[in-house]
Amino acid sequence: MNILTKLTLFISLITLTSFCKTEVSKDVYICGENGAKRYHYSKNCQGLSNCKKGKFKVSLSDAKSKGLTLCGWED
């Protein structure tokens, strides 16, 4: 394996890793700034239709770190 091949492989690995990180840090929606139990991929989700506290956009990793689980309509 020559040095150029190794370099190409290394760069593809970096690209792939950053792509995966982008996937994880996508945004989800919660009802109310605090105290929500569920997160939603869509802000028009049925699970958010009765939300009176306002819909807030947070990152998926933030929602998971707060112990929120995916809404029952979307699993």
Which residues contact Zn ion (rule: CB under 5 A)? 40, 45, 47, 71, 73-74
State the nearest-atom distance from the C-beta of 73 to Zn ion, in Å. Answer: 5
Per-residue b or e along 38-71, where b marks 16 or more CB atoms closer than 10 Å to that residue's CB: bbbeeeebebbeebeeeebebebeebeeeebebb
- Residue 28: CB atoms within 10 A of its CB come to 24
Which 8-state DSSP code applies to residue 61? H
State the nearest-atom distance from the C-beta of 10 to Zn ion, in Å. Answer: 40
**Please, which residue, 18 or 69, has the CB nearer to Zn ion?**
69
**Please, which residue, 36 or 40, has the CB nearer to Zn ion?**
40
**Please, which residue, 34 or 44, has the CB nearer to Zn ion?**
44
State the nearest-atom distance from the C-beta of 71 to Zn ion, in Å. Answer: 3
3-state secondary structure of 18: helix
